[in-house]
């Protein structure tokens, strides 16, 4: 039987969808910045060096947030290198990604660029090689109005009004042995707590994000989260979690795989790992809430998430903008990416911030070549659908339908789905994980229009890619669908497809 029944009711909700839930991430890593979003002299660059072809694609995403400047880069980052006249900024070695950082795209350039996107910034402070005093100073520089040392320096550097950054990450992945300035959970929790305190003394309106476990692959997960939270619970507002899913199940995704590739059913089932990770981290947060007798609920920032693929351009150490993890994603990758997004969406009651990683040229939504064109991986279209149409409230759903088992994961639904309601529409997101068409029946209590819009992303072969020679091979297609019965919606989805159904309420 290829029929899945989804039962939803308007009064039964998972939670409200935060406008920050579908964002992305810009890091000084590989060619994300240099020859990605910033390439002075490119035919499509404006007077600031911002690539307008890339910016036009980013604007279509309607992102809620963009995180900057890292990532691992942050743990060796000195923000003072990035301000003032460009000619006076130092060129330095970046140890995180073995590159050269010229600092020609710095703090002011980022905020100028960001102003064209309408996204909210998330700024990450260095708690690797830097500490509490540096965190205090950058908040003063960015957010304090005037008549102090750092705010007046900002004004001298051409920015009269404060940047008013509201979201601040307290470092990055400091549980990881790869991280510059890695710390124990207790060490990190203490410094993060004190940094959050002093940052909020400068600007009490900000919110801070505590670093949680950087991957469930580490043996310290989720104990790190518990210990760090116990030290900083009342002075932070979110706990961060990160995860990347690959076809190979390697401990180190940056190295060529040694294990066998997963088959398609197993690979597409791996989105379950996001659901499980979110639920485990929520459990750790709620344990600490109970332990501390706190009235505060800790929310989550899934501020690095993506599928992962092996690079198709070779990185050259200690060059400016040499690519890292520049890759094409297949249609198969895009289907898993869609299910990862749905896993985040169905936990909208606790996950309030999320950043796909990364925006351009590193496991990217958008691809560019130096002096060349910009085009999209198929994951770009799914991100655009989530960021534009996942608005309002996630409905609690009871689903029955066929499932399959694979060696690593059991009871995997053929159809992965989330139903969203907003003031104007009922929106159904669905991934068909199978090689056969599937029928979806939505049993509901809404008054809906007779017709709706169906957007489908699909390709002839699962390994198809949007290459530079064929950048439009995988594109979403739209069609009108009829709604036959008053209290049910019956729709059909193609094999191995990503689908969005938008039906107006009446």
Give me the active site residues, please.
Answer: 173, 304
- Beta strand residue intervals within 347-422, DSSP E: 351-356, 366-368, 374-376, 393-400, 403-404, 412-413, 415-421
Residues in the chain: 506
Of 224, 101, 235, 97, nearest to 173 by C-alpha is 224
For 207, phi and psi rounded to 5 degrees? -120, 145
Burial of 490 (0-12, 13-18, 19+ CB in 10 A): middle
| Helix or strand run (H / E) with residue 305 | strand 299-307
Of 208, 210, 207, nearest to 230 by C-alpha is 210
Compute the radius of gyration of the chain from its Cα atoms: 23
CA distance 450 to 359: 38
Q: Are 305 and 354 in contact (CB under 8 A)?
A: yes
Residue 368: strand pairing partners: 374
| The two structure tokens encoding residue 327 | 């890759």
On the CB side of 187, CA atoms within 13 Å amount to 10
CA distance 292 to 164: 32
For 108, phi and psi rounded to 5 degrees? -65, -40
Taking each helix axis from N to C end, the angle separating 331-345 and 272-291, rounded to the nearest 10 degrees, works out to 30
8-state DSSP, 96: T
């Amino acid at each position: 039987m290829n029929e899945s029944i989804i039962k939803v009711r308007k009064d039964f909700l998972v939670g409200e969808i935060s406008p920050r839930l579908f964002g992305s991430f810009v890091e000084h890593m590989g060619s994300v910045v240099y020859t990605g979003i910033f390439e002075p002299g490119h035919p499509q660059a404006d007077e600031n060096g911002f690539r307008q072809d890339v910016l036009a694609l980013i604007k279509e995403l309607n992102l809620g947030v963009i995180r900057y400047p890292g990532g691992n880069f942050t743990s060796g980052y000195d923000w003072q290198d990035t301000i003032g006249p460009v000619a006076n900024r130092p060129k330095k070695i970046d140890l995180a990604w073995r590159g050269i950082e010229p600092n020609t795209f710095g703090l002011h350039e980022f905020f100028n660029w960001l102003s064209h996107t309408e996204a909210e910034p998330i700024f990450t402070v260095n708690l690797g090689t830097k500490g509490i005093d540096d965190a205090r100073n950058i908040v003063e520089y960015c957010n304090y109005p005037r008549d102090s040392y750092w705010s007046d320096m900002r004004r001298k550097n051409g920015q009269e009004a404060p940047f008013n950054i509201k979201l601040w990450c307290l470092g990055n992945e400091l549980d990881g042995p790869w991280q510059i300035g890695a710390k124990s959970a207790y060490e990190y929790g203490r410094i993060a707590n004190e940094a959050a305190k002093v940052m909020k003394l400068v600007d009490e309106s900000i919110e801070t994000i505590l670093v949680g476990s950087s991957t469930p692959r580490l043996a310290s997960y989720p104990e790190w989260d518990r210990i760090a939270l116990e030290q900083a619970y009342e002075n932070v507002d979110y706990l961060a979690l990160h995860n990347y899913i690959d076809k190979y199940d390697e401990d180190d995704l940056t190295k060529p795989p040694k294990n066998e590739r997963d088959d398609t059913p197993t690979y597409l089932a791996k989105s379950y790992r996001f659901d499980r990770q979110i639920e485990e981290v929520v459990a750790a947060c709620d344990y600490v809430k109970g332990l501390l007798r706190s009235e505060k609920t800790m929310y989550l920032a899934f501020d690095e998430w993506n599928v992962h693929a092996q690079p198709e351009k070779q990185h050259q150490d200690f060059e400016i903008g040499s690519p890292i993890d520049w890759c094409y994603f297949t249609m198969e990758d895009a289907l898993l990416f869609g299910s990862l997004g749905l896993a985040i969406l169905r936990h909208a009651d606790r996950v309030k911030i999320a950043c796909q990683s990364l925006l351009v040229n590193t496991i990217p939504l958008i691809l560019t070549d130096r002096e060349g064109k910009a085009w999209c991986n198929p994951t770009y279209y799914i991100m655009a659908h989530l960021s534009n149409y996942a608005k309002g409230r996630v409905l609690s759903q009871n689903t029955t339908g066929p499932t399959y088992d694979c060696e690593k994961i059991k009871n995997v639904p053929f159809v992965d789905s989330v139903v969203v309601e907003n003031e104007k529409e009922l929106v159904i997101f669905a991934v068909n994980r199978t090689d056969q068409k599937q029928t979806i029946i939505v049993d509901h209590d809404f008054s809906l229009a007779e017709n709706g819009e169906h957007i489908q992303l699909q390709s002839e072969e699962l390994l198809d890619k949007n290459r530079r020679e064929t950048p439009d091979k995988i594109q979403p297609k739209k069609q009108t669908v009829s709604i036959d019965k008053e209290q049910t919606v019956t729709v059909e989805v193609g094999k191995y497809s990503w689908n969005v159904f938008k039906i107006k309420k009446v």
